[in-house]
Structure 1
Amino acid sequence: MIEVAPLRYGVIFKKVFSKPHIFTAFVKDMLGIEIEISKVETEKSFSPVIGNVDSRFDLFAQDKKNRFIVDIQYKRYKDHYDRFLHYHCAALLEQITSSANYKPDMQVYTIVVLTSGDKHKTDILVTDFSPKKLDGTCITETQHKIVYVCPKYVTDKTPEPYQEWLKAINDSLDNQVEENDYQNEIVQEIFSLIKKDKISPEEYARMKDEYSDEEYMQEQIQKAREEEVLLMAKNMKEAKVAIKTIAEVTGLSMEQIESL
């Protein structure tokens, strides 16, 4: 058993997966695609900005045929399927420079790692852009794809080679891993890179900043929820709904409702 820095932190995830050979191995096992790249960019954005939002990709790499995006998300957002669809489409739209040809030079593949889980509680979800006949048969015109992986829900039924990667990411989240449980040499290398004694003071400082941001976000989400409940109770009270019923629906106390 070794102590490690959790891969839920962007600074740690990028430290590991920005290495071209690790990124390449991850893409191969997640997408089944062999790629040749010399670098992986972090916090990649396009200039000029595509659309109204300056989308930034955690990890971005491309070979001659494909663009690959890997994003890690620890916070749970209600809109993360739409959020990463937007990122994915930005990487498509940036390639189109003329109305004479809408076919991008490169296919775009996005892998989203949801370390905190997802409401659907599924290990792997795929958004596939291939046109399909009514009987479900695919037409191989567009290969673009978004793959959402949730390490929290990996099971023995999760297909190889996803399984070992997802287990490794999930195991790191409690700050320790049993390295002898893993056979993949790249995964072993990752554990070596994220050992606590290999984390620099600068990386620890950035981890602390990320943790503070997460706490603040959770506080804001909780505050918004409380305000929604109070507004609902107020509206019900104005509509002459019985105080007891309002309390049952909202979970507020009689005193809280009376004070509205």
Structure 2
Amino acid sequence: MQAVASLRYGVIFKKAFSQPDIFTAFVKDILGIELVIDHVETEKSFSNPIGSVNNYFDLFAEDKVNRIIVDIQHRRYPDHYQRFLHYHCAALLEQAVHAKDYRPALAVYTIVVLTSGDKYARDMVMIDFDPKDRHGVGLGEIPHKIVYICPKYLNDETPETWREWLLAINDSLDEEVDESAYHNGNVQKVLQTIRKDTLTPRDHARMKDEYSEEELRKEEREKALQEGMEKGMEKGEHQKALGIAANLLDLLDDHTIAQKTGLSLEQVAQLREKR
């Protein structure tokens, strides 16, 4: 077994997949597309933000030979379906400035890797922009696609070319892998790249930052959930008190009803007015 850094960390995912040969091999196996590139940008942004929102692409490569842009996003958000749709559209709209008409010069493909899973528990879902007839047959007019993949939900129907990639990503999450279980040379290179004994001080620092940020978000979610539950309980108790008070209006005076139910005199008076 080999100790590795988890690919759930953005800094580690970028370290492995920003290598051009790894990036192109991954894209070929996931999308079936051959890329001709010599570098991959990380934290890519456009100089003129679309819609006054500056997006940052985790991994971004432009193939000028085959006229293709591919970006890979890596992080789960509450709004990740809508968020990365926006990013994808930004990469399309950014081209419109220099185009003669509304046809982008480059096809845009987005791969979103959700290492921590997703509420729908699917290994893959896709947004396909190609127009389709009522039978679901595409016209082949628009190539742009967004593919969301969740290694956690690998199953018997997952495409064979995807399997080792998804297995390795998910296998790394506990920071220990059996490298002999993988036969794809590019997957093996990913595992070699993320070995713990090859990490730099900067890698370790960024991982600690990401871990702390995730723990903070977790605490905030738990706090919001607890507050929501408490408010729900308080609302339920209040409604119960109102019901009891309404039944006592013909039997007791307002002061006594308020004492018995914990309501204010004003609340009891309002109940009496509504009768």
Give the structure 1 partner of residue 73 of structure 2: 71
2:13 is the alignment partner of 1:13: yes
The alignment's C-alpha RMSD in Å is 1.8
Residue 69 of structure 1 aligns to a residue whose secondary structure is strand
Residue 242 of structure 1: how far off its partner (Å): 8.9
Aligned counterpart, 1:253: none
Look up the SS of the partner of 2:70 in the other structure.
strand
Distance of 1:99 and 1:15 partners within structure 2: 34
**TM-score normalised according to structure 1 size:** 0.89
Q: In the aligned structure 2, how far is the partner of 1:99 from the partner of 1:235? A: 57
Identity %: 55
Matched with 1:230 is: 230
Greater helix fraction, Structure 1 or Structure 2: 2
**What is residue 209 of structure 1 aligned with on the other side?**
209
2:161 aligns with 161
Following superposition, the deviation at residue 239 of structure 1 comes to: 2.8
Query: How do 1:29-44 residues align onto structure 2 when only pairs under 5 Å count?
Result: 29-44=29-44
Distance in 1, Cα, partners of 2:100 & 2:237: 60
Distance in 1 between residues matched to 2:10 and 2:228, nearest whole Å? 31
Shift of 1:100: 5.5
User: In 2, distance between residues paired with 1:98 and 1:14?
Assistant: 30
Note if contact 2:99-2:105 (Cα within 8 Å) is conserved in structure 1. no
Q: Residue 249 of structure 1 corresponds to which residue in structure 2?
A: none
The separation in 1 between residues aligned to 2:206 and 2:152, in whole angstroms, is: 24
Instruction: Specify the SS of the correspondent of 1:35.
Output: coil
Q: How much does 1:38 deviate?
A: 1.1
Aligned: 1:88 with 2:88? yes
Name the amino acid aligned to 1:183: H
State the TM-score, normalized to the length of structure 2. 0.84
1:28 deviates by: 0.4
Displacement of 1:236 after TM fit?
Answer: 2.9
Q: Aligned with 2:160: secondary structure?
A: coil
The 8 Å contact of residues 59 and 73 in structure 2, kept in 1 or not, is answered as yes
User: Secondary structure in 2 aligned to 1:161?
Assistant: helix
Q: Deviations over 1:64-83 (max 9, x none)?
A: 2111000111x4x3311111
Q: Which amino acid in the other structure matches residue 58 of structure 1? A: D
- Structure 2, unmatched stretches of 5+, are 244-261, 263-275
For the structure 1 residues 30 and 222, does the alpha-carbon distance in structure 2 shift closer, same or farther, using more than 3 Å as the test?
A: same
Instruction: Report what 2:178 is aligned to.
Output: 178
Aligned-residue offset at 1:241: 6.5
Q: List per-residue Cα deviations over 1:107-164 (Å, max 9, x = no partner).
A: 1100000000011111111111110000111111101000011000112331110111
SS at match of 2:42: strand
Asked whether the equivalents of residues 58 and 73 of structure 2 are also in contact (C-alpha less than 8 Å), the reply is yes
Q: What one-letter code is carried by the residue in structure 2 that aligns with 1:70?
A: I
CA distance in 2, matches of 1:242, 1:174: 52
Q: How does 1:18-29 map to 2 (within 5 A)?
A: 18-29=18-29
Instruction: Tell me which residue corresponds to 1:107.
Output: 107
Which runs of 5 or more residues in structure 1 are unaligned?
Answer: 244-257
Per the TM alignment, residue 227 of structure 1 is displaced from its structure 2 partner at its CA by 2.0
Residue 127 of structure 1 aligns with which residue?
127
Q: Following the alignment from structure 1 to structure 2, what is the Cα–Cα distance between the partners of residues 232 and 69?
A: 42
